[in-house]
Amino acid sequence: MVILQSSCSFHPALFLHSSSSSSQLGLQKPSSFVCSKRNVSFCVKSEHSSASAPQDKPGRRQALAVGTVLTWVSFINPTSASFAAESKKGFLPVTDQKDGYEFLYPFGWQEVSIEGQDKVFKDVIEPLETVSVNLVPTSKQDIRDLGSPQEVAEVLIKKVLAPASQKTKLVEAKEHEVDGKIYYTFEFLAKAPNYTRHGLSAIAIGNGKFYTLTTGSNERRYEKMKDKLNTIIDSFKIFNV
């Protein structure tokens, strides 16, 4: 029996669904995990580097900019430099030392702020192309304590990742282990009246938290985007803090 205990606000770009029923999956609802039925506004954050000297050539300006960014990343997060070295071309790394997770996201996506989500990045042109990380406290020690990959995925898709008005389908769910930690990953479809989202999620338990990373795109763009989306999923790791 799979039991989920959380309630989240829904935004079309992220497939977060507000549920009036009690949680199932045996997860605790944190005071900081705020969910709302109100419309959520995006707050796009952008960083602009200072302009180079007029006489600099483009190649030199780019090299200086890259060096500045890497220095800044290393200063903010000592471990992110090594993670950045493992990044694939066309992706940028995120390492959260406080909550203990890391992942890659495509270059060009912008960070936005959405109530109830720990991290969100999205494409500003294609609103369904996003990656979000959600954290919920739990007393469980192993993701397998919640059920099989298929059981947990079904509950999350129907209760959290898509609104009740949408028709959902679990395409595939599986388990894998990385550095002694168990992850469930799954692929799903959620059909709305005017679009279908093709989503991918990775979930894990550690540090007293239930982690959910979800990404996806419009079904019409999935073949073009699937390699990038799978890179995001494969890059998601949690670590002890």
Q: Which amino acid is at 230?
A: N
Indicate the fold that domain 89-238 takes in CATH: Protein Transport Mog1p; Chain A (3.40.1000)
Pairing of strands 130-137, 167-178: unpaired
Q: Quick one: pLDDT at residue 88?
A: 85
Averaged pLDDT for residues 207-211: 98
E-only strand ranges, the chain: 91-96, 101-106, 110-111, 119-122, 130-137, 167-178, 181-191, 196-206, 209-218, 237-238
pLDDT digits (tens, 9 = 90+) for 56-68: 444 444 444 444 3
Q: What is the pLDDT of residues 217-230, one digit of tens each?
A: 999 999 999 999 99
Residues 6+ apart with CB under 8 A from 187: 170, 171, 172, 173, 198, 199, 200
Q: CA-CA-CA-CA torsion for 105, 170, 144, 141, nearest 10 degrees?
A: 40
**What token pair was written down for 127?**
């609103």
pLDDT single digits (tens) 80-98: 444 444 568 999 999 999 9
Structure-block tokens of residue 141: 């020690």
Q: Per-residue pLDDT tens for 16-38?
A: 443 433 355 666 554 333 333 33
**If pLDDT is split at 50, 70 and 90, which confidence band does 146 have?**
very high
Dump pLDDT digits (tens) for 44-58.
333 333 333 344 444
